[in-house]
Structure 1
Amino acid sequence: MSLTAIDRTTRKEKMASTHYDVIIVGGGITGAGIALDAAQRGMKVALIEMQDFAAGTSSRSTKLVHGGLRYLKQFQIKVVSETGKERAIVYENGPHVTTPERMLLPMHKGGTFGKFSTMLGLTVYDFLAGVKKSERRVMLNKEETVEMEPLVKQQGLKGGGHYVEYKTDDARLTIEVMKKASEFGADILNYAKSTEFIYDQNKKITGIKVQDMLNNQTFHMTAHKVINATGPWVDEVRDADYSKNNKNLRLTKGVHIVFDESVFPLKQAVYFDTEKDGRMIFAIPRNGKAYVGTTDTFFEYDKASPKVTQEDRDYLMNAIKYMFPSVEITDADIESSWAGIRPLILEEGKDPSEISRKDEIWEGDSGLLTIAGGKLTGYRHMAEEIVDLLAKRLREEQQLKFKKCNTKKTPISGGDIGGSDRLEQFIEEKKAQAKDFKLTEEEGEYLTRLYGSNVDELFRIAHSVSNEDSFGLPSSVYAQVVYSIQHEMINKPVDFFIRRTGTLFFDIEYVERYKRKVIDAMKHLLNWDNVKTEIYTEELNKAIQEAKHATRDVK
């Protein structure tokens, strides 16, 4: 069953009548990775998510699949080694959503990194992360650093390091992994919340009660095992179980702000330390924009919708003015912003930036398996660890046997292009084909970079629609709406503009231009009544408002 948003009732009926090997609660990148791994091994898998897929942390990151260079400062050697190697796997399996990005690390007198420490750090980083030869660090003098990025502060500049990180579309990465899990037979549903555990007479979890968040209907699901992969909500889910251990999460908030390149003409991604507290943050060019982040502050309020405060914006603006003094921007130049929550494992007495990004697996007396902490980059390895344990328990308790993990060499949905080295050639081929489907080369390239090997389906949809039937949308945009409904389970306009296209963060003018017509198309295709249409329209307008403006931090 593909991830279609149509005929939700039939999907729920199947999920209620099937006994699964495992139910995964949580539809971020961790849950998606677990669903793919388990389904590929031959397990009968279900996954539910109370919001949209990737609506939490997995759409609100810095959008980098990176090796964690800054963790060397904290001597988190294992984190650097594991995530550095994992990012190469993530890239190879989904090159359309993960691509190399050269990063500049400027060195200033009195700054966090000196010439020797930078060279040493990047050398160790290359070794630990298993960086291939063509992407290893290059040391630059002052003149070369300025040539690389003329906006960097020149006062006290001593040179720089040039190394490779990997940029990604975090939400689309999650969606593509989820779609691949569905291809292997996983039953998946968003806007479905686990409200209560079901136990047998031995107080072992045998299922969950589920509430459909779109219509408040409830149903039951049963399984041999349940995995809690809910990120910031891990503790809330465990609170519903009698066998919670004494470990807890510590949530921190990270904020990013976005500018048009006309006011912040950044040509090179830069990783730099702030003047205020020496924290390391990123400034990254992306499709005609520049975004900067992230903050790192303790957080304990609205996890479903963390807000960007004026204090957050001021912190990042001051960092920009410190490292890029010639850039004359004001708060009014911020086009959009987002805030995300990091679910870290509590370590008493440590500042937010010092808490380890390691992951842990907890097993309750009830049989509940919980995975907590971790990083986007390491999602595949995290999934392998917990599914190994799941397979062991299913063998011990149910005499069930399954194949070993094979996700290292499994392209995610959209990744079947013949390897990462062939990406640009693949894009050129699809650009040339686009005109045969009533699309421009630019539209063909845009769709190919976003959807990879799935682009043929979007081309087909674009070609089949007439101007009268596209609700006034360009055929390329209409194709995205239809494809997102039929194959990516969008239920609301915010799903489309935030997590399927990323335009609310990186092209808010696009959202303003097409929102009414997209809503009209979705209303028709999903049979909304006027009340539902009004609710979803207001929800989108609120998201636009929050992206554009700071919010008072209500405590």
Structure 2
Amino acid sequence: MNEVEGDQLVAKRIAVVGAGVNGTSIATACAKRGCEVVLFDAGSPFAETSSKSSRMLHGGIRYLEQGHIKLVREALKEREEWQRIAPDATRVERFFFPIYNDSPRGRTTLFAGALLYQWLAGRYSLGRSQLHSKNELLEAFPTLSPENLKGGISYCDLVMDDQVMAEHLLAEAQSSGVTLHSHSRVSHLTTEGSLRVNDDTLQFDRVINAAGPWASEILMESNIASKFTISHVRGSHLLLDLTLPHALVFQVPDDGRIVFCIPQSKSKVLLGTTECAHDLKDPINCTDAETDYLLAILNKHIQPAVSREHITATLSGVRPIAKARNAQLQNMSRASRDSEIEVVNSLINVFGGKWTSARHLGRKVASVI
């Protein structure tokens, strides 16, 4: 968006802090509106939370249980956009929910949710939701534990190669005119449009704080009050030497959570995620307790048992859960992954968000600059 100065149109100068999926998408959307955009990241682009996800571009079927219908419907439409612009980095996957005697949700509940998920997608549906008998599941997954298995359901969703997707988004940003500065930590912001990066103070027409888990932290360092804050939730995954024909979704009887096991190649699967409160002062690593938790869930459902020797890598990222400053987050699994945008003079703060909705969030932020 441009401003008139005298008789000339002058492009607004925009700084975006944070080169994850949200910051990069915001920077691109602003550049496409004619702005001069500079994107800063304290490390390497996409090196933190954006590269530590479950590698899904999904509507969030589990959010239906919490009543987030609008969020799911919008994300399902946005899922289609990703598939259209990056067919080389996405693929349709069928997810199977095996149901056991102790499963928190039965076939009727899960099938109703899967049908609603398909219906909300409308013309963007990726495939029919289906009911499956015990024998059908065991035929599809010979390693699935048959004891107390009642059957299951399946639905379709989108998974991605996050590295290829990151390359797409960074190339799009730079071809749109965005200037990227890696290893450039922003240590101070003002509501008048200035920021301090390394040892320099720079002035812009707008500064967009899209630092993900660190968005609130940089505001506190800058003594800027906000209506919103962030709860930090560590999510860890295990990359395993394991072969599965399709993705599996496990229900956890103790806490009602669901854990995904998604094929990454013919011999690798990604298992996760955990949800643990995290202090940003602590290392972002998968703990022994998280590893034991994920392996126990997997080994409850498949045979023979998978051990630590099957782990080829671990991934841990911190998800920012946006909330009103005085709100209490009672249950991390039930928290909305929606985002919040706050405008304070020349400063725009972006809290929360997720991979699937990043491009929509970018356009939304660009509309208020």
Judge same fold: TM > 0.5, yes or no.
yes
Tell me the residue number matched to 2:220: 239
Give the number of the structure whose residues are more often helix, by fraction: 1
Q: d(CA) in 1 for partners of 2:260 and 2:126? A: 23
Does 1:104 find its partner at 2:104? no
Tell me the residue number matched to 2:156: 164
Tell me the residue number matched to 1:273: 251
- CA offset at residue 131 of structure 1? 5.6
- CA offset at residue 185 of structure 1? 0.9
> Which one of the candidate residues 321, 335, 339 is aligned to 2:299?
321
Tell me the residue number matched to 1:120: 112
- CA offset at residue 143 of structure 1? 1.4
Aligned length: 356
Q: d(CA) in 1 for partners of 2:187 and 2:304? A: 50
After superposition, residues 461-540 of structure 1 pair within 5 angstroms as none
- CA offset at residue 53 of structure 1? 0.4
Name the CA shift for 1:153/1:60 in 2 (closer, same or farther; >3 Å): same
Contact residue 208 and residue 221 of structure 1 kept, 8 A: yes
Contact residue 251 and residue 343 of structure 1 kept, 8 A: yes
> Which one of the candidate residues 40, 44, 63 is aligned to 2:36?
44
- CA offset at residue 299 of structure 1? 0.7
Q: d(CA) in 1 for partners of 2:201 and 2:89? A: 35
Gaps of at least 5 residues in structure 1 are 1-17, 199-203, 212-217, 391-555
The one of the two structures with greater contact order (alpha-carbon pairs below 8 A, sep at least 6) is: 2
Q: Give the AA of the match of 1:357.
A: R
Deviation string, structure 1 residues 480-503 (Cα, Å, up to 9, x no partner) = xxxxxxxxxxxxxxxxxxxxxxxx
Tell me the residue number matched to 1:335: 312
Contact residue 35 and residue 178 of structure 1 kept, 8 A: no
Tell me the residue number matched to 1:377: 356
> Which one of the candidate residues 213, 234, 239 is aligned to 1:253?
234
Tell me the residue number matched to 2:339: 359
Q: d(CA) in 2 for partners of 1:268 and 1:327? A: 18
Name the CA shift for 1:56/1:241 in 2 (closer, same or farther; >3 Å): same
- CA offset at residue 169 of structure 1? 2.4
Q: Give the AA of the match of 1:24.
A: V
Does 1:208 find its partner at 2:178? no
Q: Give the AA of the match of 1:314.
A: D
Q: d(CA) in 2 for partners of 1:175 and 1:322? A: 37
Tell me the residue number matched to 1:227: 208
- CA offset at residue 362 of structure 1? 1.1
Aligned residues with identical type, % of pairs: 28
Does 1:94 find its partner at 2:90? no
Name the CA shift for 1:295/1:134 in 2 (closer, same or farther; >3 Å): closer
> Which one of the candidate residues 278, 283, 295 is aligned to 1:299?
278
Contact residue 11 and residue 34 of structure 2 kept, 8 A: no
Tell me the residue number matched to 2:5: none
Contact residue 78 and residue 360 of structure 2 kept, 8 A: yes
Tell me the residue number matched to 1:34: 26
> Which one of the candidate residues 38, 43, 48 is aligned to 1:56?
48
Which of structures 1 and 2 has the bigger CA Rg? 1
Deviation string, structure 1 residues 78-112 (Cα, Å, up to 9, x no partner) = 22111111111111111111221111112222313
Name the CA shift for 1:220/1:291 in 2 (closer, same or farther; >3 Å): same
Q: TM-score, normalised by structure 2?
A: 0.91
SS at match of 2:24: helix
Q: d(CA) in 2 for partners of 1:273 and 1:134? A: 23
Tell me the residue number matched to 1:506: none
Name the CA shift for 1:131/1:291 in 2 (closer, same or farther; >3 Å): farther
Q: Give the AA of the match of 2:91.
A: T
Deviation string, structure 1 residues 139-196 (Cα, Å, up to 9, x no partner) = 2222112222222222222222221111112343233212111101111111111122
Runs ≥4 in structure 1, deviation > 6 angstroms?
none
Q: d(CA) in 2 for partners of 1:99 and 1:23? A: 34
Contact residue 274 and residue 322 of structure 1 kept, 8 A: no
> Which moves more between the two structures, 23-32 or 37-46?
37-46
- CA offset at residue 278 of structure 1? 2.3
Q: d(CA) in 1 for partners of 2:125 and 2:247? A: 20
Q: Give the AA of the match of 2:153.
A: G
Q: What is the Cα-based RMSD across aligned positions, in Å?
A: 1.9
Q: d(CA) in 1 for partners of 2:201 and 2:12? A: 12
Q: TM-score, normalised by structure 1?
A: 0.61
- CA offset at residue 19 of structure 1? 8.3
- CA offset at residue 242 of structure 1? 4.3
- CA offset at residue 133 of structure 1? 5.4
